[in-house]
Structures are given as structure tokens and as C-alpha cells.
Amino acid sequence: MEGRRKSLIFPREHGAWGILLVPLITGASVGLLAGGRAWPLAPLTIAVLALFWLRTPVESWIGATPVKARTPGELQLVRNAALALTAVAVTALIWLFWGGRNLALLWIGAGAAAAFIAQAIVRKAWRSGRMAAQIVGAAGLTAVAPAAYYMVTGQLNGAAWPLWMANLFFAANQIQFVQLRIRAAHADRNEKLSIGRGFLVGQIVLILLLGLACFGHLFRWCAAMAFLPVLFRGFAWFAARPEPLAIHTLGKRELMHACAFGILLIIGFQLP
């Protein structure tokens, strides 16, 4: 019973937490190492976490999720959680924009909002497009990278947009790989290639996009090295022996890849 109550108000998508927090940390860290200040990051962090958390109790309240509030006690629980999180988010947003400050964040917020609207449209119009919807939604979540960089440095140039691009590319690769592992849970070596053809193409496209961005001086070669572990993981899966799918083990491995990516990306932005 206690577990059900928690599922009504706490976000269940553990991968989405990573897609949100890794960009937030990398954007803030690169900005701090460039000489920025940490304190302005506080209202953005509070607002982002409250808004992200708010989605679960609201969906449970209105019945837009498989785990719905049914009893009067559950309805009161999700209503109170939604109202409390709304109050926290509104307070943080007022703090963030007080006196007309940080108005450049409105452009980032508009881009993130457009991504979430597009995600809802994709989900409704394309029932089998779960992965596509997740990637579109990731564009909205990873927008916190340039937002965090801006709050720390006061600038929306330099590393802000490459940080968004890098985090989005990483999130898309991770979403593709997790979905592939689920689809190919019982595949043998001969079946892996046919089932994972789309992912394999995605890996190659990712390499090409990174190469073009680096050659065009839109991204640093050193920062592109942060993708090597996940690219190796993706290609190595096709040659590895079949193994049973263990969701929790897969989640832990992907969390480790996310942490490694974040650390390597921050280091990559500091190297010449």
C-alpha cells in the first residue's frame, strides 16, 4: 500500500531523472569552471526539480497514467502533493525572474515547452512511437544544460548550445539502447543484427554528426571523447553472447554510463 502511494506522487521514470540531472550538472559545472558563480543556480534547480516532480501527481490526479488515484485518500494525497509542488515551483520562478532578470531563459523554456508539446502529439498520433516520443521529450529535459550554464555565467554563448547538443545526443543514444535491449531480450547473435539494425544506424549517424560538429568548430574534439564509452557499449552488444534481460542491472549500467559521460564531458570542455 505504501509503495502504491509513493508511485502516485514520485516520478517512476528513473531514466528521465538521469536525462534531467546530467545536463543540469554538466551545464553548471562547465560554467563554474569557466569562472561563473554557483548561487544564481539555486532558483533554477528548485524550479526545474519541482516542475519535473509535479508531472507525476498531476497525471495520477487526472487519470492520465496507468497508476491512477482512486480512493478519496489517494485523491487527497495527489492533490496536496500537486498543490505543494506548484507553490514551490511558482516561488522559485518568481525568484528566478524577479525584477526582469534572466529573461533569456524564456527562450530556452519556450524551446523545452515546444518539445514537450511535440512529445504529447507524437504519443497520441503514433501509438508505436514510444521511443520517438521519449527522444523528443529528452530535447526538453536536456534544455536545462544551457539554462544552468546561463545562470552560472550570465551568458548564452560559448559552451551553452554545444552542451545542449551533447546531452541530447547522449540521451537519444541511451533511449535507443534501452529500447533495443527490451526488444531483443531473447535474441541470439544471428537475430541481434536484424533487430538492432536501426540502433546500429543511429550509432553511425551519431559518429557522423559529432565529426561534422567538430570539423565545423561547433563542438570540441576532446568533449566528443565523452561518447566513446557508450559507442563502444553499443557496438560491443552485437558481438556479446546473449544474456537474459535484467532491467535493474541494465538500469545500473546505464546510470554508470551517464555518470562517466558527464565527467568526461566536463573534462573535455576544459581541455584545449
pLDDT classification of 119: cutoffs 50, 70, 90: confident
| pLDDT tens digit sequence for 134-150 | 899 999 999 999 999 99
pLDDT classification of 106: cutoffs 50, 70, 90: very high
Instruction: Using alpha carbons, list the distances in angstroms from residue 126 to 121, 132, 172, 173, 210.
Output: 8, 9, 18, 21, 29
pTM: 0.90
What is the rounded average pLDDT of the residues 44-48?
95
CA distance 17 to 23: 10
Q: Which domain holds residue 212?
A: 2-270
Q: Which of 34-48, 90-104, 125-139, 166-180 has the lowest average pLDDT?
A: 125-139
Q: What is the DSSP string of 144-167?
A: HHHHHHHHHHS-SSTTHHHHHHHH
pLDDT above 60 (res 132):
yes
Q: Which of 112-116, 243-247, 266-270 has the lowest average pLDDT?
A: 243-247
> Three-state secondary structure along 178-209?
HHHHHHCCCCCHHHHHHHCHHHHHHHHHHHHH
Q: Residue 225: which CATH number?
A: 1.10.600
Number of domains in the chain: 1
pLDDT above 90 (res 261):
yes
- Comparison of pLDDT for 169 and 13, the residue scoring more: 169
- Whether 78 and 69 have beta carbons less than 8 Å apart is answered as yes
C-alpha cell at 163: 552542451
Task: Classify residue 102 by its DSSP letter.
Answer: T
- Whether 129 and 123 have beta carbons less than 8 Å apart is answered as yes
Instruction: Say what the pLDDT of residue 187 is.
Output: 85
pLDDT above 90 (res 268):
yes
Instruction: Say what the pLDDT of residue 3 is.
Output: 66
| pLDDT tens digit sequence for 153-171 | 999 888 999 999 999 999 9
| pLDDT tens digit sequence for 226-256 | 999 999 999 999 988 888 888 888 888 999 9
pLDDT above 90 (res 207):
yes
What is the rounded average pLDDT of the residues 169-188?
91
What is the rounded average pLDDT of the residues 6-25?
83
**Of 113, 112, 114, 134, the residue nearest 123 (C-alpha):** 134
| pLDDT tens digit sequence for 24-44 | 999 999 999 999 999 999 999
